[in-house]
């Protein structure tokens, strides 16, 4: 239950942050986050269904991030979280290309900041519940 709740909250926080960033800076990071039109059979899903898929994936990511979270060494924890952040940052390129969204440095920066927020929300919850 802990992973489900925190995965949903962090996923909603990420979606809200990217939508806000898109509104303020005229980027398209939120559509990159939820777009699944490149998956066969999911070409014409409504946006709410795409958001629910994103939240489901967020819960799965939260499970793995929390399950393997190092609990004994601060240095290992920082390296672990940096690896997740690197994976999230690298994911921007293929998801942008698959979504056919224009890639800009501003969009990439918003994407990375949003995923930093996501990672921080989950890591704070893990630290609180040790």
- Is there a contact between 29 and 18 (Cβ–Cβ < 8 Å)? yes
Q: What are phi and psi of 104, to 5 degrees?
A: -135, 160
Mean pLDDT (whole number) for 76-94: 92
Count CB atoms within 10 A of the CB of residue 57: 15
Per-residue pLDDT, 130 = 67
Per-residue pLDDT, 127 = 82
Task: Copy the structure tokens of residue 125.
Answer: 């919850």
Per-residue pLDDT, 17 = 97
């Amino acid at each position: 239950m802990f992973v489900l709740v925190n995965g949903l909250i962090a996923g909603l926080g990420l979606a809200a942050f990217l939508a806000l960033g898109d509104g303020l800076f005229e980027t398209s990071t939120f559509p990159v986050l939820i777009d699944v039109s490149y998956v066969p059979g999911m070409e014409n899903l409504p946006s709410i269904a795409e958001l629910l898929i994103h939240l489901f994936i967020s819960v799965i990511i939260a499970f793995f991030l929390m399950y393997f979270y190092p609990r004994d060494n601060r240095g290992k924890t920082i390296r672990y979280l940096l690896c997740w952040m690197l994976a999230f940052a690298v994911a921007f390129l293929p998801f942008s290309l698959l979504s056919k969204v224009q890639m800009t440095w501003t969009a990439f920066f918003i994407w990375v900041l949003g995923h930093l927020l996501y990672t921080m929300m989950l890591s704070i919850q893990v630290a609180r519940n040790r």
